[in-house]
């Protein structure tokens, strides 16, 4: 697929930023990675999370989770939205199963924390067994990794408002807007293809062969269900601010109040008679 002009610009900008950030790392920033955290911003229906120790539980609203090595399963009509400490939003629809193979993050200081960009480096690798998951990560650092492992290859998301759908027949990856970019790698890493939204990648395995099909889209042709899920996941990513604590410690999640809250009519302590 020929690269578009703005996709080349995105790739060059990411490469330049990564070189600058890598060159500017100080010893304090090069410390070991620790488990990243997530906060539940919305949950509904039957949801089961099994952590890396095999303990299963149902999440609660605003609960803080350790996703590293966990498996999430959702029932019919259920959904789960989470804000991750690396700035990524995750939305999981009903009848889905997702495995967080790894979620590690480098601790960050108060000077590094920001709501505009990821404060440090992170490595997030997940696998979708079935169902639908949305990922919102347009604040992700260029030196971080966000990977979706599939039987038919690997998706590396660079800047994303993406939806991944998988069933017994195929896997569909949709980049929902022009800011969304990802790269598809074949299972043996011999081939790769770069995508810029709005665009869709379809993958299926027929007779042991991987069939790859791309579809260029416009905002008007993007399925409404896909748009709604992507928008809700983007909102989830902005609902929590992760505040730096002591060096090397887990950041403290702080809920961000919606602007609508401040537009509510205030109760008056008194009233004038007319």
pLDDT digits (tens, 9 = 90+) for 40-86: 999 999 999 999 999 999 999 999 999 999 999 999 999 999 999 99
Nearest to 104 by CA among 142, 166, 146: 146
Q: What DSSP state is assigned to residue 115?
A: S
| Domains in the chain: ranges and CATH | 33-256 (2.60.120.1440)
Largest interatomic CA distance in the chain: 82
The overall average pLDDT reported for the chain is: 84
Measured between alpha carbons, how far is 39 from 62 in angstroms, rounded to an integer? 6
Name the range with the highest mean pLDDT among 8-22, 116-130, 145-159: 145-159
- Token duo for residue 267: 């109760």
Give the least confident one: 44-53, 169-178, 247-256.
Answer: 247-256
Share of the chain above pLDDT 90, in %: 55
Query: Does the CA dihedral 102-108-114-118 come out positive or negative?
Result: negative
Nearest to 121 by CA among 138, 146, 156: 146
């Amino acid at each position: 697929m020929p690269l578009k002009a703005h996709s080349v610009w995105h790739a060059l900008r990411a490469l330049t930023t990564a070189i600058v950030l890598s060159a500017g790392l100080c010893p304090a920033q090069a410390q070991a990675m620790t488990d990243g955290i997530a906060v539940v911003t919305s949950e509904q229906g039957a949801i089961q999370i099994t952590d890396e120790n095999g303990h299963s539980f149902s999440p609660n609203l605003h609960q803080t989770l350790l996703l590293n090595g966990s498996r999430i399963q959702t029932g019919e009509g259920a959904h789960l939205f989470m804000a991750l400490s690396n700035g990524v939003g995750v939305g999981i629809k009903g009848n889905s199963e997702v495995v967080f193979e790894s979620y590690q993050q480098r601790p960050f200081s108060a000077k590094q924390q920001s709501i505009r960009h990821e404060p440090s480096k992170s490595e997030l690798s997940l696998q979708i067994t079935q169902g639908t998951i949305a990922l919102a990560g347009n604040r992700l650092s260029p030196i971080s990794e966000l990977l979706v492992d599939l039987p038919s290859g690997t998706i590396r998301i660079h800047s994303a408002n993406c939806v991944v759908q998988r069933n017994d027949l195929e896997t569909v990856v949709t980049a929902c807007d022009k800011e969304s970019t990802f790269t598809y790698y074949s299972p043996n890493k011999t081939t790769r293809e770069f995508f810029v939204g709005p665009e869709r990648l379809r993958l299926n395995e027929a007779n042991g062969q991987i069939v790859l099909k791309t579809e260029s889209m416009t905002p008007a042709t993007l399925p409404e269900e896909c748009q709604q899920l992507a928008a809700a996941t983007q909102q989830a990513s902005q609902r929590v601010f992760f505040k730096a604590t002591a060096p090397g410690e887990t950041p403290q999640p702080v809920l961000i109040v919606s602007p609508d809250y401040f537009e509510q009519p205030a109760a008056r302590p008194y009233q004038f008679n007319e």
